[in-house]
Structure formats: C-alpha cells, structure tokens
Amino acid sequence: MNPFSIAIHGGAGTIVKEDMTAELEAAYLKALQQALDAGYAILEKNGTAADAVVAATISLEDNSLFNAGKGSVITKKGEHEMDAAIMEGKMMSAGAIAGVKNVRNPVLLAKEVMINSRHVFLSGDGAREFAIKQGVKIEPDEYFFSQFRYDQWKAMRDSDTYALDHTQQGVDNLMKDKKFGTVGAVASDSFGNIAAATSTGGMTNKKFGRIGDSPVIGAGTYANNKTVAVSCTGHGEPFIKAVAAYDVSCLVEYKGLSIEQAMYEVVHKKLIALEGEGGMIGVDAQNNIAMLFNSAGMYRGMKKSTGEYALGIYKDMIK
Ligand code: ASP
C-alpha cells in the first residue's frame, strides 16, 4: 500500500497555556485525536482523501469545543450561520455552502454540492433546501447552542464589531478569549490524491449574511494534486484578500517552493502585511505536511502511515 497521511486543525488564535486548565487541554487533545483517528481509519482502508477529510471534519463539527456545527458562534442577530467547503485535488472538484442554518454537518452538505449538484457554491435558503432534498440531517436551533458562545456573544452584541478582530478598540476587554475555532482537514490517500475541507460558524457577532474565507475556494480551502491541499483558519477577511490557500498553491506551482516554504511566505509575510491573524494546514501528494500559524496557537494534529504523528495547541508540539 502506498503511503498516506492526514492533518487537522481546530482553529487558531490567542491560545496560550496560561489561559488553559489541564482539564480543558486534555479535552481538546482528545477531540483532536478522535478527529485524526476518524480520518486515518478511512485512509487505512484504502478510502479516498475526500472521504477522510469529511470524516475528520464531522468529528470536529460534532464537538462543541470547536466553532463549527454544534458549538458554532452566534451572529449579530443571535443566530447560527455556518460556512463549509470541500475540494479534491484530482479533478479539482469542489463544493461549498455559506450562511446555512440548522444543518448538523455543514461539511456533508458541501460534499453533496460537490457530488450531486451542478454547482460549486450554494448559500442561505437555497443551500438549506438542497440539504433537505439530499437528506442531509437538520437539527433544531438548540442543538447548536453552547453557553460559552452565548456568553461571548452577549458581551459583544451591543457593539458594532465582531469578535477576534484584534484591531478594534475595546474588543480585547470584552473578549478575553480570542480564538478562531474553525475546523478543517487535509489528506493524501494511497492513490496519490489529496483533498481539503473546512467548516466554521464564522466570527462572533458577525453581520447577518457575512461570509468568511472558509467556504471560498482559493481563500480558506483549496486542493490540486499537482500542488497542495490547504485548509485555513483565522480572521477571514484578510485571508480572502490574500487568496491565501491558492497563493500557497501558486508558490508551489510557479516558484517551485516546498509546501512549508510556500506556507511560510503566505502566513508569515503576506497575511501579516494584511493584519491577517491565523494559520493553515497543508499536504501534498508526496505526503509532506505543513502546519503554520502567526497567532499564539493553533489546535492541530497530523498522522502519516510512515509513522510520524504529532498533536499541538501552542507553538511547540505536545505529542
Ligand atoms: N476563518 C473563519 C472566518 O473568518 C474564522 C475562523 O477561522 O475561526 O469565518
């Protein structure tokens, strides 16, 4: 069997050890491990990279520790609006959804769009209608609720800003806990194909209808077998302006950089210049993995069939 590998992230931001309890850290590590295992199990059985990134992303969406699916952040209007995307690198097929409510696993809906619609990107009511038609599971509003996200939102709802925008005056006082909890996965399968998926609730107190980078192909999610599969997390607006994921691919394709070098350029130079805080994970068809961020931390993990394995939250790997 040819080698295969998977990497995941659960968001980046001001994640520092001082703010973390041992219990919470253990809960995050367990959740990351479960997601890695879910994706790896698919690859081990000769499954596709696309199915592996979906399985890993579902595992993270179902865990309210992360800002995707269950536990998504709350919009200015007090609702949940979720975005997700998937792309596979062989045919460069892609599916994305934005501003969707009540869909239990937005990444599954993105996959439905990729496979069973003639479109790439569906939004709002149309995406929801498509979810119902395709039998994608719908949940009541309560399913997505978490006290932590509600408290975050309550502290901000009367302001005209959205959380995690570190440049806004006053937000830091309101938001001690600055995190981008988007989730994502990238994988390379034994057939030499790669894929990426990203799923998010967006940013706390975001305007009704605001769409971040996560579902935008080329910004938060991208895959091309010739170059790299990338999933991003961070302040979406600069990631969109930087066309961040595609820029990594371009640097590999046109400049011949390794994925680590290409990602370094984008995360530590281009995004910094645009005040874009966050990070990304990537894999190429040769099973090279990169996981870089310019924030204090990023929930992340990777596992290769060749034996390499790592889990991290802060700058240094924990396992
Ligand atoms: N990138 C996401 C967005 O801007 C947020 C995140 O990564 O947590 O919607």
Phi, psi (degrees; rounded to nearest 5) at 84: -155, 160
Which pLDDT belongs to residue 169? 34
Q: Which alpha helices (DSSP H) does 14-123 contain, by range?
A: 22-44, 49-61, 106-116
Domains of the chain, first to last: 5-318 (3.60.20.30)
Q: How far apart are CA 219 and CA 78, in angstroms?
A: 26
Mean pLDDT of 174-191: 79
pLDDT band for position 76 (cuts 50, 70, 90): confident
Q: How far apart are the first and last CA of the chain?
A: 26
Cβ-in-10-Å burial (0-12, 13-18, 19+) of 305 comes to middle
Mean pLDDT of 206-221: 94
Q: Which atom of ligand 1 is nearest to the CA of 180?
A: 8
pLDDT band for position 14 (cuts 50, 70, 90): confident
Q: How many CB atoms lie within 10 A of CB 296?
A: 18
Does residue 138 sit in helix, strand or coil?
Answer: strand
Q: Is the pLDDT of residue 174 over 80?
A: no
How far is ligand 1, taken at its centre, from the CA of residue 166, in Å?
A: 13
How far is ligand 1, taken at its centre, from the CA of residue 44, in Å?
A: 30
Which pLDDT belongs to residue 170? 37
Phi, psi (degrees; rounded to nearest 5) at 308: -70, 140
Mean pLDDT of the chain: 91
pLDDT band for position 179 (cuts 50, 70, 90): low
Mean pLDDT of 94-122: 97
Q: How far apart are CA 66 and CA 45, in angstroms?
A: 27
Q: What share of the chain is helix, strand, coil (3-state, %, to 5)?
A: 35, 25, 40
- CA dist 59 → 169, 246, 279 (Å): 35, 26, 20
Q: Is 47 in the pocket of ligand 1 (CB under 6 A)?
A: no
How far is ligand 1, taken at its centre, from the CA of residue 233, in Å?
A: 5
Mean pLDDT of 121-145: 94
Which pLDDT belongs to residue 77? 80
Q: Is 204 in the pocket of ligand 1 (CB under 6 A)?
A: no
Among residues 298, 40, 17, the alpha carbon closest in space to that of 186 is found at: 40
Mean pLDDT of 259-279: 97
